[in-house]
Structure 1
Amino acid sequence: MSAQPTKAASSRYPWMVLSVTSLGVMLTLLNVGTLNVALPVVSAHFHATATTANWILLSYLLFNTIFILIFGRIADMFGRRRLYIIGLSAFTVVSLLIGFAPNIWVLLVLRAIQAAGGAIVVTNTTPLLTDAFPAKTLPKGLGINVLVASVAQLIGPVVGGFFASDLGWQWVFWFNVPFGIVGVVWAMMTLRKSSTKGTREAFDIPGNILIFFALGGAILALSEGSTLGWGNPLVIAGLLAFVILTPIFLRVEWKSKSPLMDLRLFGQRRYAMAYASTFLNSFARSAVVLLMALYYETLNHASAFTAGLAVLPVTIGMVLLSPVAGSLASRYDARLLSSTGLGLSGVGVLILIFEVGPTSSFAVAAIGMFLVGAGTALFMTPNTSSIMTTIDPAHRGSANGLRSMLQNMGQVISTALSLMIVTANLPPRLQSSIYEGSTGAIPANDVHLIVVGFRYALIAMLVATIIGMFTSLVRGQRPVPPAKSSMR
């Protein structure tokens, strides 16, 4: 590749980068969506308890959340192209190995390693696009990226249900391998090195250690509180780790010359509210697909494949609204679009709260799920663009790492909290049925307990959506973007 690309080649390059990142996003998000509906099959294969079944999901989400922030910083220091290729390669290799896991503990360890590879891919995707696209067309590129993510979430439950039901749980992971190989080769052929030099700042080792144990403690406590009991020493230790280490982490980051998390961004209202809205939107939306899939498998005795089809309205809404959001984001302020998106999601969750029950109508529930997906799409593109286009190019990895970390933190806490709420008032004999599905008739009293748990979990999602609307509305006006860095 020549040092001075032609004008035609330069105009094509952003879209080639989009093709690279789209494949990476597709794989990493498919990995989450497929397991949401395949969880009962995987749990049954390994004879997992409610606790270990919970961690089949949470092990990936927890480590992915933490590593996203870490690798966002590393990408700014050492370069995004090389790190992206390493991450996608690791994700692909571990996907192959997971299918050979001999027991649940090996599976959990491999899921954590897979999460690191996925984190590298996710944290570099948006900065690569922001570096490649001109400011005027960046919202369209980000909109298409969200569209691809939506498609991944659309087909994820169906693919996961099909593989788990017909081919075996191993194929929930093995299908990643051929696409991952293609993605690595295409990235090596396509991506250029950015002319923006790495920051070469010191690596924040104390910050990395503190955030790992603080977040790990919070997730451990939330996920195990309802099964082990809130007085259990392990649960108490998790809560204490979070409460004690979080303020220490914030103090260390504030004083650090090269912090893992740049807290000074929170001193600007527009960034602070955009980041807060990112967390709350993810918290409110992430558990909906999981909750509704488990609901249909538990109370309607649906197979994993059927449950995957049942939750498609969420991602259909995202697919249809993502291109619209990308177009509108270049003309209207993020405050209006993102707040409207959260409002749509809130209406969808409200519908689901009333429709969950033994006499519910799938048609009405589908409308609610569709609105959740449509609102999410309308929120994500303008909110992401408002952050990325006003950040110094040399620190886009860190800024996007923080955004992605908060998005994933919302997802992992939402998953842990919603499952805790659903199972909190259930006797032990029913807790396992939530994770493994139910093949027999459930007594009326037990059905009522399960339905109440699902409703309370959805109410928590609605409260988060309303708070997210407020934080999105109070952000400031659109600032002037900084000068764009050049590309080789």
Structure 2
Amino acid sequence: MIAVFVAMSGLTVALPTLSRELGATPAQSTWILLGYMVVTTALILVFGRLADIVGRRPLYLSGLIVFTLASTLCIVSPSAEFLIVARVLQGIGAAAVVTNNTALLTDTFPPHLLSRALGWNATVAAIGQIIGPVVGGAATALFGWRGLFAAVLGIALIATAASLLVIPRRVGGIRSREPFDLAGAILATTLLTAVVLALTPSSSAAWLPWCFGAMSLVVGVLLIVVQRRRAHPLIDLSLFADRGISLVLLAGLLTATATYAVALIISLYVQAVDGTSPFVAGLLVTPVAAGTVIAASAAGWLVIRIAPRTLAATGMALNTVGVLGVAVVLSADGSLPVTALFLFLIGTGIGLFMTPSTSVLMLTVPAQRRGIANGMRSTLQNVGNLLSTAIVVAIIPIGLGAAAQQAAYGGSPAAFDDADLSRFVDNLQLAGVVLGAMSAAGIAVCLSFPRRMPTPEAEVRPVPEYATTKESA
């Protein structure tokens, strides 16, 4: 899991150096960043379904192997085009790992130890988020951008060896005999790709994003129609019929969309405007992860004393203040301590939101459907991360020429003239305002949460055959 987080978040601070040394165009830089995220997001549900059919252990180990090989390809990439392909392969492996991680823990650990194991898993995920930008910045500063992928490769090799030794062969759950929804998988992947392409400006054809936008609408409608007609759909649309579940899932999507790409905004600003090193850029975004860890720990105690709607809305309000504060600081050329404070507010808001929203979701959904609901929550969170990044990279080029865009992604302050530099900062500020608006909308959604924590739904269990016989007798 740590390797997956480092591969995703570490590139945020390594992107300027990578783009500059490979001579990547703005479009190529965008897809080096987004290709991994598109594939991982699209395949989470696909691999979750495949795991039920082929077994979780084989798919998890296969994902680690693919991720490891792809990381090797990233290290030796001779061109931006080659690196994009390697990142896509890396995303495929990451999706198989992320999808099966929690399920394998549930299969492996006995009930009395499971909560402790899941707690450690959440801690590892938080550590991955914290060290991702730091590892990415330090490796890039010391060894160049290839050092980031070398660090990812080392972690992945350790994880693969440990998994082969630790995960019992018998683990993996009962394999399902239900058919795989291939049409749903293709449509879901096509939809996500079309949405990202619609948000990506085209220098050669201004009408192209509009075509992809229309395509995403058509594919989205077709996906809904196909999923409603499937006996065993890839996406369980019936979950959205419950208003409470829909609100929680929507709030999670808005939270991820509003906050994820703030690290990218900060990294591009300090490297392309101030000429800061990748290592310092990585350190600057760590207050977000630190605030998340601290607030998430406190939220476990607060959630039994404060109404979930109040706690979640407070978290979203802190997100809004933090994101908009970052935008203001960028425009005013604010100090680093003030920027760190706003980033810490964002992390605190995320931590306060996560616990009540997840608790409401898990207690609202019937016990036998909690796995499906959690899968949808995880998928929408990844969709939010993807949309957040796509929104920022769509706004950055507005009004900038090709040379200025190259300087923005390459972290080259000297390549900007005064007008382009001002426009670039304005674009980053605009991106922050758009993300802040997403967070503000999330406050209203959170205020629609229940006033009290829902009563857990009872698990539907089959009646034992001997019980029925005894009653008949």
Amino acid in the other structure paired with 1:58: L
Aligned with 2:374 (options 400, 406, 418):
400
Give distance in 2, aligned partners of 1:146 and 1:389. Answer: 19
**Contact map agreement 2:404 2:415 (CA 8 A) in 1:** no
Seen in structure 2, the aligned counterparts of structure 1 residues 136 and 452 have a Cα distance that, compared at 3 Å, is farther
**Contact map agreement 1:275 1:403 (CA 8 A) in 2:** yes
Aligned with 1:89 (options 33, 58, 65):
65
CA RMSD of aligned residues (A): 2.7
Seen in structure 2, the aligned counterparts of structure 1 residues 443 and 360 have a Cα distance that, compared at 3 Å, is farther
Amino acid in the other structure paired with 2:246: A
Residue matched to 2:442: 468
1:284 is the counterpart of 2:261: no
Equivalences for residues 26-425 of structure 1 within 5 A: 26-129=2-105, 144-191=120-167, 197-225=174-202, 227-228=203-204, 230-231=206-207, 234-329=208-303, 334-357=308-331, 359-388=333-362, 398-425=372-399
Give distance in 2, aligned partners of 1:219 and 1:301. Answer: 29
Give distance in 2, aligned partners of 1:182 and 1:327. Answer: 35
- Displacement of 1:137 after TM fit? 8.7
Give distance in 2, aligned partners of 1:188 and 1:484. Answer: 35
Amino acid in the other structure paired with 1:202: P
Give distance in 1, aligned partners of 2:53 and 2:39. Answer: 21
Give distance in 1, aligned partners of 2:404 and 2:109. Answer: 51
**Contact map agreement 1:390 1:482 (CA 8 A) in 2:** no
Seen in structure 2, the aligned counterparts of structure 1 residues 178 and 276 have a Cα distance that, compared at 3 Å, is same
- Displacement of 1:371 after TM fit? 0.7
- Displacement of 1:121 after TM fit? 1.5
Give distance in 2, aligned partners of 1:400 and 1:200. Answer: 22
**Contact map agreement 1:352 1:458 (CA 8 A) in 2:** yes
Deviation per CA, 1:151-195, whole angstroms, max 9, x where unpaired? Answer: 222221121112222212222112122322322333344445569
Gaps of 5+ in 1: 1-23
**Contact map agreement 2:258 2:438 (CA 8 A) in 1:** yes
Tell me the TM-score normalized by structure 2.
Answer: 0.88
**Contact map agreement 2:108 2:167 (CA 8 A) in 1:** no
Give distance in 1, aligned partners of 2:162 and 2:172. Answer: 21
SS in 2 for 1:356: helix
Gaps of 5+ in 2: 462-473
Deviation per CA, 1:234-266, whole angstroms, max 9, x where unpaired? Answer: 423322220111101011111111111100000
**Contact map agreement 1:136 1:330 (CA 8 A) in 2:** no
Seen in structure 2, the aligned counterparts of structure 1 residues 320 and 81 have a Cα distance that, compared at 3 Å, is same
What percent of counterpart residues are identical?
35
Seen in structure 2, the aligned counterparts of structure 1 residues 399 and 199 have a Cα distance that, compared at 3 Å, is farther
Give distance in 2, aligned partners of 1:207 and 1:377. Answer: 33
**Contact map agreement 1:140 1:323 (CA 8 A) in 2:** no
**Contact map agreement 2:272 2:408 (CA 8 A) in 1:** yes
- Displacement of 1:437 after TM fit? 0.7
Seen in structure 2, the aligned counterparts of structure 1 residues 473 and 229 have a Cα distance that, compared at 3 Å, is farther
Give distance in 2, aligned partners of 1:328 and 1:126. Answer: 25
Give distance in 2, aligned partners of 1:200 and 1:391. Answer: 24
**Contact map agreement 2:261 2:389 (CA 8 A) in 1:** yes
Deviation per CA, 1:181-233, whole angstroms, max 9, x where unpaired? Answer: 322333344445569533321111111111111211111121234x44532xx
Seen in structure 2, the aligned counterparts of structure 1 residues 165 and 271 have a Cα distance that, compared at 3 Å, is same
Amino acid in the other structure paired with 1:40: P
**Contact map agreement 1:391 1:482 (CA 8 A) in 2:** no
Deviation per CA, 1:49-81, whole angstroms, max 9, x where unpaired? Answer: 111111100100111110112112222334333
Deviation per CA, 1:280-328, whole angstroms, max 9, x where unpaired? Answer: 1110011100111111111111121121122222122123223223444
Residue matched to 2:467: none
SS in 1 for 2:200: helix
SS in 1 for 2:174: coil
- Displacement of 1:446 after TM fit? 2.9
Give distance in 2, aligned partners of 1:453 and 1:472. Answer: 29
Moved more, 384-393 or 353-362: 384-393
**Contact map agreement 2:9 2:133 (CA 8 A) in 1:** yes
Amino acid in the other structure paired with 1:374: T
**Contact map agreement 1:64 1:119 (CA 8 A) in 2:** yes
SS in 2 for 1:206: helix
Give 1 or 2 for the bigger CA radius of gyration: 2
Moved more, 281-290 or 437-446: 437-446
Seen in structure 2, the aligned counterparts of structure 1 residues 311 and 64 have a Cα distance that, compared at 3 Å, is same
Give distance in 1, aligned partners of 2:308 and 2:386. Answer: 25
1:480 is the counterpart of 2:456: yes
Give distance in 1, aligned partners of 2:263 and 2:291. Answer: 13
Seen in structure 2, the aligned counterparts of structure 1 residues 54 and 196 have a Cα distance that, compared at 3 Å, is closer
Give distance in 2, aligned partners of 1:93 and 1:394. Answer: 37
Tell me the TM-score normalized by structure 1.
Answer: 0.86
- Displacement of 1:435 after TM fit? 0.6
Amino acid in the other structure paired with 1:168: G
Seen in structure 2, the aligned counterparts of structure 1 residues 258 and 334 have a Cα distance that, compared at 3 Å, is farther
**Contact map agreement 1:130 1:389 (CA 8 A) in 2:** no
Give distance in 1, aligned partners of 2:8 and 2:377. Answer: 18
Moved more, 132-141 or 285-294: 132-141
